[in-house]
C-alpha cells in the first residue's frame, strides 16, 4: 500500500501534464477520458488505502518523497502523512472529483477549450491532494496556494470576458490576504517548535499550556488563512464572484473540496486550537456570524449559482461553528455530507443551465420538473438533505453541530437555528422557482428544454444516493447509531481527547435535551419549507424584476449588505489612489527632485565660485583688502 | 585556471565579436556566450569536487604588493552560474531585433560578462573595485547609445549616481588599505578596527552597494534607466548587475565592517522594508509595463536586502537563492515586455489586451514567469521569498509582517498587468499579434523550465552555498566586536 500512495497525487499530475503539453494535439474526447480515468485510479488507490487503515488504531504512516528544503535547522521533507483524516479527505477529493470529471465530459462537450479545462481540473486535484496529504505545514501550504492558482485559472476560464477575469483576480488576491496570515503562522510555528512537521508540533504543543499567548497568536493567524480559503467573514466576498467559472468548477472547487481546506487545516492542528480557548471563541463567533450573514443574503438572490454560492459560505460557517465549539468530528462530518449534497446541487444547477441555454436567473425558469425528471428528483433530494430533514445526510451532520453549539452556549444554537431556517427557505425557494409552476423563459428556450445526457445525470444519481445515505457514517449514539466517523477519526483527535479527559470540562447533553434539539431543528426547517411553498407555489409569487421598488431590508440583502462596495471604497480605491499619489508626489516630485537638486546645487555652486574668477585685478584687490580687514578685526576682537 | 578562463574568455570573445562585423556579430556572440556557459558548468563540477581548486593567486602589481587573487566559493558559484546562464539568453533574446553597429553592441555585452564574473570571483579588494567600475562602462554605452527616448539624459544620471556611490567606496578602500597595508580578502577579514572606523567604513561601502541594488531611497535612477535602456540593457542591469551590490555586501561589507554591519542592520532593514512596500504600491498604477516591472524589481530587491542585513542563516540563504531566481524571472518578464513592444509598438497597458487569442503559447510562459515573480510555491520565487521572510521574521516579526504585504501587493500588480495585457478580447493594436518565433520560444522555454525546476527541487541550489553561508554566519554575523 505504502508504495502506491504516492501515485494518488501523481496520477492527476500526469493527467495535467499530458493534456497540458499536448493541448491542441490532444483529441477533445480523449482529454476528458484521460482526466477521468486518472481520477478513477486515484480513487481506487485511496479507497484501498482506506480499507487497509480503518479499524487499525496505529495504521498511520509517513511516505518520504525527497528533501524539499534543508537550511540550517529548517528541515522540510516533501512527504505525505497517511492517516484517517487525510485518507478520508483523499476519498472525498478523488471520489467526488471523479464524478465531477465524468459530468464535465458532458457539460463541456461543446467548449473549444476542453483540453485546457481538463488539464486545469487535474492540476487542481493534484494540489488539493498535496494540501491534505502533506506531512508538514509547508507541503500543505504548497497545496493551499496551488489550489488557489487553479481556482484563479478556472474562474477566469472563459478569459475573453473581463468580468470573469476580474472575479478570478479578486479570488486570488483575497486568498492571498489569508495566505499572508497562514505563512506568518508557519514562521511562528517554526520559531516556537523548531519544526514544521505536524507530528513534532502536535507532540510539543501541550507544553505551552492552555491559553498561551504564543498558541493564541499561531492559531489566530492560521484562522486568518482559513477565512480566506474557506470564505468566512470578512474574506468571503470572492466566493460568490467565483461563480463566473464553469459550473463543474463551482461544484468541485467552490463547494466540495477547496473551500473546506480551512476546516481541514484546523482539524489537522486540532490540539493547538483546543489549547487556545480565545481563538476557539473567535472561530465560533465568526462561523455563526458567517452562517447567518450569508444565509440571509441567500434569501433574496435570483441567480441560481449565486444562491448556492451564498449557501456554501453559510454552510462553511456552520463547519467553523463546529470547530469553534470543539466538535472536530462534527465539522468533518459536515464537510463530507456537504461535499455530497452541494456538489449534487451545483451539478444539478449546471444541468438546468445546460437545459435552458445558459440562463441562470431563476425568475426566467419554472416548471422544469416535467422536462428534467432526473435533474429534478436528484435536486429535490439534495435540497432536502441540505435543509436538514431526517433521515437525509444533512440532518445528522447539522444536528451534531447544533448540539455541540448548544452545549457551548444556547445563544450559538439559536443563531445557528435561524441560519438553518433561512437555509430551508432559500433552498426550497430555489427549488420551487426552478422546477414548479410554469416556464417563464423565452419560447426558444422552451423549445430547447431537454434532460442532460447520461454522463451528466449519472453523477447526479450517485451523488443523490450519497446525499441521502451519507449521514449513516456518524449517526449519534442517542439514535442508536455507531458513530463510525468519530471512532475512525479518534487517532487524529487523540491529543484533544486526552486533553479534555485530563481537564474534564466537556459537558454532556442529556438524551432529553438532544431529542428536543433535534425536534426543534426539524420543526424550524419544516416551517421554512412551508413558508417557501406558500409563497412560491401556492401564491405563485415571482421575485421582483431588477429595478423594482423594494423595502429597505430587501434591498440591503439583495445587494449583499453592500460589502463589496464598502471594500472597494475602503481598500481598493485608496490603494490605487496611494499608488498614483506616491508616484507623482513622493517619487517624481519628492525623492527624485531632491536627487536632482543635489546635483543642481553642485552646478550652481560651481557657477557661483567661477564668478569669483573674473580676471579683473580691481576686484581681486578689493577682496584682498576686505580679507585683511576681516582678519585684523577678528584678531583685535580676541584681545 | 578555469576561473581565469571565465574572466578572460568573454573578453577575447568580445574582441572576436567586434571584429566579426555587424552581420555575424549576434551569432558569434551567442556562440561565445554558450561556450562561457559550458565553462561555468566545468567550474561547477570542479567546485563540487574541491572548491579550492578554483583559486588562483598570481603576483600582479608588485609595487603595491597586490596579487591577482580570484576564487569561487558557494556564493560566488551561484552568481557565476547566473551570469553565464543569463548572458546567452540575453543575447538570444535580441535575435529578432536589428541593431545599428551590432558588432559593438554584442562586444559590449560580452565585455560586461567578463567584468561581472570578475566582480564575483575577486578575492582582492582592488581587483574587485576595478571590475566593479569596468562593468559600468559597457552598460553606459549600451543604454546611452541604443536606448530609447531621453537616453542620454537618463543614462548620464544613472552613470553619475553610481559613480558617486563608487567614489565613497574608493575612499573606503584606500582607508582600509592604509590600515591593513593589503587588499587581500583574508587579511582584511582578520583586520581589527575601532568602532568609529568600522562605522565610517560601513557607510562608505554601503552607499555604493545601496545605489547599485538599489535600496530605497537611492533608487530613483532605476525606473528611468530600466525604462529607457534597450531590453538587453535592462536585462543586464536588473538580471545581473544589481546583484553586484548584494554580492558586495556579503563579500566585503560583512567582513570589513563586522560589528558596524550588525548594529546598522536595523536602520537599513527599515529602509529596505519601506522599499518593498513602496515599490509594490507604486507598481500598481503604472501604465508602462516596463516601468511597472522596474518598480516591482525595487520591491523584490528590497526583500533581498532586508534578508541580507537580517544576517541569519535562513535570510542569507534566501537572499542568495533569490538573487538567482530574481535574475531569471526579471529577465523573463522584460523579454516578454520587449517582444510585445516589438509587435505592437506600445508598452501601455491601456492600449494592449487580448493577446492570448493570437498567442496562447505566450500566455502560458507569461503565467509561469508571473507565478515565479509572485512567489507561488513550486516556483523558484517561493523558495527565496519563504526563506527571506522567515529569516526576517526571526530578526523582527513586525517588519516581516510588513514585508509580507508584498505577497498580496505582488499579486495585485502582476495579475492586473497580466489581465489587461493578455486577457479579454483583442483590439486593433493586438489583433495582428504575430506568433512566437523559434528563438523566442527557446528563450521562454529555458526560463520557464528554470522557474519550475528550481521551485520543485531547490535543494540542489541551496546546497551549493549552504556551507559558506553557514561559516559566514558563524564567523561574522552571530557575534562581532570592535575595539572601543
Burial of residue B200, with CB atoms counted within 10 A of its CB: 0-12 exposed, 13-18 middle, 19 or more buried: middle
Cβ atoms of residues A235 and A74 within 8 Å: no
Mean pLDDT score of chain A? 91
Lookup result for grid cell 495566505: A179
3-state secondary structure of B184: strand
Which pLDDT belongs to residue A55? 78
Query: Higher pLDDT residue, A411 or A56?
Result: A411
Q: Do A165 and B377 touch (CB under 8 A)?
A: no
All residues at 6 or more sequence positions from B13 whose CB lies less than 8 Å from its CB, including other chains = B28, B29, B32, B33, B35, B36, B110
CA distance B133 to chain A (A): 21
What pLDDT is attached to residue A560?
86
pLDDT of res. A507: 63
| Chain A contact set for B381 (CB, 8 A) | none
Give B376-436 as a DSSP string.
-TTSHHHHHHHHHHHHHHHH-HHHHHHHHHHHHHHHHHHHHHHHHHHSS---TTTTTPPPP
Give yes or no for residue B482 having a pLDDT over 80: no
Query: Which of A138, A169, A183 has its CB closest to that of B389?
Result: A183
Q: What does the CA dihedral B85, A149, A26, A98 come to, rounded to 10 degrees? A: 140
Contact A58, A491 (CB under 8 A): yes
Using left for φ > 0, alpha for ψ between -120 and 50, and beta otherwise, residue A202 falls in alpha
Ramachandran category for residue A358: left, alpha or beta (phi over 0 → left; psi -120 to 50 → alpha): left
pLDDT computed for residue A381 by the predictor: 96
Mutation target for B interface from A10, A71, A78: give the one with most B CBs within 10 A.
A71
Q: Is the pLDDT of residue A544 over 90?
A: no
Residues of A in contact with B160 (CB under 8 A): 599
| CA gap A625, A594 in Å, rounded | 39
* Phi/psi at A367 (5° precision): 65, 25
The pLDDT assigned to B206 comes to 95
Between A149, A161, A187, which is nearest B371 by CB? A149
pLDDT tens for residues B383-402?
999 999 999 999 999 999 99
Residue in B217, B378, B412 closest to A173 by CB: B412
Cβ pair A579:B283 closer than 8 A = yes
Instruction: Identify the band that residue A592 occupies on the pLDDT scale cut at 50, 70 and 90.
Output: confident
For chain B, helix, strand, coil in percent to 5 are 80, 5, 20
High-pLDDT (> 70) share of chain B, %: 98
Q: Inform me whether the pLDDT recorded for A175 exceeds 90.
A: yes
d(CA B78, CA B55): 16
Cα B412 to Cα B283: distance, rounded to the nearest angstrom: 9
**Within its chain, how far is the Cα of B104 from the centroid?**
23
State the virtual CA torsion across B157, B159, B163, B165 in degrees, nearest 10.
50
Residues 6+ apart with CB under 8 A from B293: B226, B283, B330, B333, B334, B337
Confidence band (pLDDT; 50, 70, 90) for B478? low
* Residue A62 backbone phi and psi in degrees, to 5: -115, 135
Q: For chain B, what percent of residues have pLDDT higher than 90?
A: 81
pLDDT of residue A589: 86
Q: Does A572 touch chain B (CB under 8 A)?
A: no
Contact B199, B260 (CB under 8 A): yes
Q: What is the pLDDT of residue B480?
A: 62
Give the angle subtended at the CA of A584 by the CAs of A583 and A589, to the nearest 5°.
Answer: 110
Of the candidates B35, B14, B226, the residue with the CA atom closest to the CA atom of residue B106: B14
Contact at CB, A67 and B313, closer than 8 angstroms: no
pLDDT reading at A1 higher than 70: no
Q: How many CB atoms lie within 10 A of CB A563?
A: 16
Q: Is B346 on the interface with A (CB under 8 A)?
A: no
Cβ <8 Å between B415 and A169:
yes
User: CB–CB of A252/A121 below 8 Å?
Assistant: yes
Q: Give the lowest-confidence range in A273-277, A429-433, A611-615.
A: A611-615
Give residue-wise pLDDT tens across range B173-205. Answer: 999 999 988 899 999 888 888 888 899 999 999
Task: Give the confidence band of B64 by pLDDT, cuts at 50, 70, 90.
Answer: confident
The whole-angstrom distance between B156's CA and the closest CA on chain A is 12
- Where residue B462 falls among pLDDT bands split at 50, 70, 90? very high
- Say yes or no: B452 contacts chain A, CB-CB below 8 A: no
Instruction: Tell whether B371 lies on the interface with A, counting CB pairs under 8 A.
Output: yes
Confidence bin at A639 (pLDDT 50/70/90)? low
**pLDDT at residue A532 in the model:** 94
Q: Does B132 touch chain A (CB under 8 A)?
A: no
pLDDT at A609: 78
pLDDT band at residue B479 under the 50/70/90 scheme: low
Window A:158-197, CB contacts with B under 8 Å: 159-162, 165-166, 169, 172-173, 176-177, 179-180, 183-184, 186-188, 190-191
CB spacing of B283 vs A141 below 8 angstroms: no
B304-325: average pLDDT: 94
Give the per-residue pLDDT at B358. Answer: 92
Q: Which distant-in-sequence residues (6+ apart) come within 8 Å of A373 by Cβ?
A: A451
Amino acid at each position: 500500500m505504502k508504495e502506491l500512495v504516492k501515485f494518488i497525487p501523481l496520477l492527476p499530475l500526469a493527467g495535467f501534464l499530458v493534456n497540458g503539453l499536448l493541448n491542441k494535439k490532444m483529441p477533445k474526447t480523449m482529454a476528458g477520458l484521460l482526466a477521468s480515468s486518472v481520477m478513477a485510479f486515484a480513487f481506487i488507490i485511496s479507497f484501498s488505502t482506506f480499507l487497509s487503515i480503518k479499524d487499525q488504531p496505529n495504521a498511520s504512516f509517513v511516505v518520504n518523497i525527497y528533501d524539499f528544503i534543508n537550511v540550517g535547522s529548517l528541515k522540510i521533507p516533501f512527504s505525505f502523512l497517511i492517516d484517517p483524516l487525510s485518507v478520508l479527505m483523499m476519498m472525498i477529493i478523488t471520489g467526488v472529483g471523479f464524478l465531477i470529471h465524468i459530468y464535465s465530459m458532458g457539460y463541456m462537450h461543446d467548449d473549444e477549450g476542453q483540453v485546457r479545462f481538463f488539464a486545469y481540473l487535474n492540476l487542481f486535484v493534484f494540489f488539493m491532494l498535496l494540501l491534505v496529504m502533506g506531512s508538514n505545514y509547508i507541503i500543505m501550504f504548497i497545496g493551499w496556494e496551488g489550489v488557489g492558482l487553479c481556482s484563479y485559472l478556472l474562474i477566469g476560464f472563459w478569459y475573453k470576458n473581463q468580468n470573469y477575469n476580474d472575479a478570478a483576480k479578486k479570488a486570488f488576491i483575497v486568498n492571498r490576504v489569508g495566505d499572508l496570515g497562514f505563512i506568518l503562522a508557519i514562521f511562528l510555528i517554526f520559531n516556537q517548535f523548531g519544526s514544521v512537521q505536524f507530528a513534532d508540533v502536535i507532540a510539543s504543543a501541550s507544553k505551552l499550556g492552555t491559553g498561551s499567548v504564543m498558541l493564541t497568536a499561531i492559531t489566530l493567524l492560521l484562522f486568518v488563512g482559513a477565512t480566506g480559503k474557506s470564505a468566512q467573514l470578512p474574506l468571503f466576498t470572492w466566493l460568490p464572484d467565483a461563480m463566473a467559472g464553469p459550473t463543474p468548477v463551482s461544484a468541485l472547487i467552490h463547494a466540495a473540496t477547496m473551500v473546506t481546506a480551512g476546516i481541514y487545516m484546523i482539524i489537522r492542528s486540532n490540539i493547538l486550537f483546543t489549547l487556545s480557548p480565545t481563538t476557539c471563541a473567535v472561530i465560533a463567533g465568526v462561523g455563526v456570524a458567517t452562517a447567518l450573514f450569508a444565509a440571509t443574503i441567500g434569501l433574496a438572490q435570483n441567480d441560481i449559482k449565486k444562491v448556492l454560492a451564498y449557501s456554501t459560505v453559510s454552510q462553511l460557517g456552520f463547519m467553523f461553528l463546529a470547530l469553534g465549539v470543539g466538535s472536530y468530528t462534527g465539522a468533518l462530518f459536515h464537510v463530507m455530507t456537504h461535499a455530497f449534497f452541494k456538489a449534487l446541487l451545483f451539478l444539478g444547477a449546471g444541468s438546468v443551465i445546460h437545459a435552458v441555454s445558459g440562463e441562470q436567473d431563476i425568475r426566467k425558469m419554472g416548471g422544469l420538473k416535467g422536462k428534467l425528471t432526473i435533474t429534478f428528483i436528484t435536486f429535490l433530494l439534495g435540497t432536502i438533505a441540505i435543509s436538514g430533514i431526517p433521515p437525509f445526510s444533512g440532518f445528522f451532520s447539522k444536528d451534531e453541530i447544533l448540539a455541540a453549539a448548544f452545549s457551548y452556549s444556547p445563544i450559538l444554537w439559536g443563531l445557528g437555528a435561524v441560519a438553518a431556517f433561512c437555509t430551508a427557505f432559500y433552498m426550497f425557494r430555489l427549488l420551487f422557482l426552478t422546477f414548479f409552476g410554469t416556464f417563464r423563459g423565452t419560447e426558444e428556450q422552451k423549445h430547447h428544454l431537454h434532460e442532460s445526457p447520461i454522463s451528466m445525470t449519472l453523477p447526479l444519481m450517485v451523488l443523490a444516493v450519497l446525499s441521502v445515505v451519507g449521514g449513516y457514517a456518524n449517526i449519534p449514539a442517542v439514535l442508536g447509531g455507531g458513530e463510525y466517523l468519530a471512532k475512525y477519526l479518534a487517532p487524529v483527535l487523540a491529543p484533544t481527547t486526552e486533553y479534555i479527559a485530563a481537564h474534564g470540562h466537556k459537558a454532556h447533553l442529556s438524551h432529553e435535551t438532544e431529542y428536543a434539539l433535534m425536534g426543534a431543528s426539524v420543526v424550524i426547517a419544516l416551517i421554512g419549507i412551508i413558508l417557501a411553498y406558500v409563497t412560491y407555489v401556492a401564491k405563485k409569487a415571482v421575485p421582483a424584476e431588477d429595478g423594482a421598488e423594494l423595502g429597505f431590508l430587501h434591498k440591503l440583502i439583495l445587494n449583499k449588505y453592500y460589502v463589496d462596495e464598502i471594500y472597494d471604497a475602503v481598500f481598493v480605491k485608496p490603494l490605487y489612489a496611494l499608488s498614483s499619489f506616491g508616484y507623482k508626489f513622493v517619487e517624481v516630485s519628492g525623492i527624485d527632485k531632491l536627487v536632482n537638486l543635489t546635483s543642481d546645487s553642485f552646478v550652481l555652486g560651481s557657477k557661483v565660485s567661477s564668478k569669483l574668477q573674473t580676471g579683473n585685478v580691481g576686484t581681486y584687490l578689493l577682496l584682498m583688502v576686505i580679507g585683511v580687514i576681516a582678519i585684523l578685526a577678528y584678531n583685535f576682537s580676541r584681545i | 585556471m578555469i576561473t581565469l578562463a571565465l574572466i578572460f574568455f568573454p573578453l577575447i570573445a568580445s574582441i572576436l565579436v567586434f571584429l566579426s562585423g555587424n552581420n555575424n556579430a549576434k551569432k558569434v556572440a551567442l556562440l561565445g556566450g554558450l561556450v562561457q556557459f559550458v565553462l561555468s558548468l566545468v567550474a561547477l563540477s570542479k567546485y563540487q569536487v574541491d572548491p579550492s581548486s578554483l583559486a588562483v593567486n598570481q603576483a600582479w602589481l608588485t609595487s603595491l604588493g597586490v596579487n591577482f587573487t580570484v576564487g569561487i566559493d558557494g556564493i560566488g558559484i551561484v552568481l557565476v552560474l547566473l551570469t553565464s546562464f543569463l548572458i546567452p539568453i540575453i543575447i538570444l533574446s535580441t535575435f529578432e531585433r536589428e541593431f545599428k553597429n551590432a558588432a559593438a553592441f554584442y562586444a559590449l555585452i560580452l565585455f560586461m560578462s567578463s567584468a561581472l564574473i570578475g566582480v564575483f570571483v575577486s578575492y582582492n579588494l582592488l581587483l574587485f573595485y576595478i571590475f566593479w567600475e569596468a562593468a559600468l562602462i559597457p552598460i553606459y554605452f549600451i543604454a546611452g547609445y541604443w536606448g530609447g527616448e531621453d537616453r542620454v539624459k537618463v543614462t548620464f544620471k544613472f552613470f553619475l549616481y553610481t559613480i558617486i556611490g563608487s567614489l565613497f567606496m574608493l575612499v573606503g578602500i584606500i582607508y582600509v588599505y592604509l590600515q591593513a597595508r593589503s587588499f587581500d580578502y583574508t587579511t582584511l577579514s582578520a583586520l581589527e578596527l575601532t568602532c568609529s572606523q568600522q562605522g565610517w567604513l560601513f557607510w562608505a561601502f554601503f552607499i555604493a552597494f545601496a545605489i547599485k541594488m538599489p535600496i530605497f531611497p537611492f533608487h530613483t535612477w532605476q525606473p528611468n534607466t530600466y525604462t529607457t535602456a534597450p531590453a538587453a540593457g535592462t536585462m543586464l542591469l536588473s538580471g545581473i548587475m544589481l546583484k553586484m551590490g548584494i554580492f558586495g555586501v556579503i563579500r566585503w561589507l560583512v567582513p570589513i565592517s563586522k560589528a558596524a554591519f550588525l548594529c546598522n542592520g536595523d536602520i537599513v532593514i527599515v529602509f529596505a522594508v519601506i522599499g518593498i512596500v513602496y515599490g509594490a504600491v507604486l507598481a500598481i498604477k503604472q501604465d508602462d509595463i516596463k516601468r511597472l516591472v522596474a518598480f516591482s524589481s525595487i520591491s523584490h530587491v528590497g526583500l533581498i536586502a532586508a534578508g541580507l542585513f537580517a544576517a541569519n542563516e535562513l535570510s542569507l540563504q534566501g537572499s542568495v537563492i533569490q538573487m538567482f531566481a530574481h535574475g531569471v524571472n526579471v529577465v523573463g518578464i522584460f523579454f516578454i515586455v520587449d517582444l510585445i513592444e516589438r509587435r505592437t509598438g506600445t508598452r501601455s497597458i491601456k492600449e494592449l489586451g487580448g493577446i492570448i487569442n493570437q498567442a496562447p503559447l505566450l500566455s502560458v510562459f507569461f503565467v509561469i514567469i508571473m507565478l515565479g515573480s509572485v512567489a507561488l510555491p513550486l516556483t523558484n520565487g517561493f523558495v527565496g521569498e519563504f526563506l527571506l521572510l522567515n529569516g526576517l521574521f526571526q530578526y523582527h516579526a513586525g517588519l516581516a509582517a510588513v514585508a509580507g504585504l508584498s505577497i498580496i501587493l505582488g499579486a495585485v500588480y502582476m495579475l492586473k498587468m497580466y489581465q489587461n495585457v493578455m486577457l479579454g478580447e483583442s483590439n486593433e493594436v493586438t489583433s495582428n499579434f504575430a506568433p512566437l518565433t523559434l528563438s523566442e520560444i527557446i528563450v521562454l522555454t529555458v526560463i520557464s523550465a528554470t522557474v519550475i525546476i528550481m521551485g520543485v527541487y531547490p535543494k540542489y541550489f541551496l546546497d551549493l552555498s549552504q556551507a559558506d553561508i553557514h561559516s559566514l554566519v558563524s564567523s561574522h554575523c552571530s557575534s562581532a566586536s570592535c575595539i572601543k
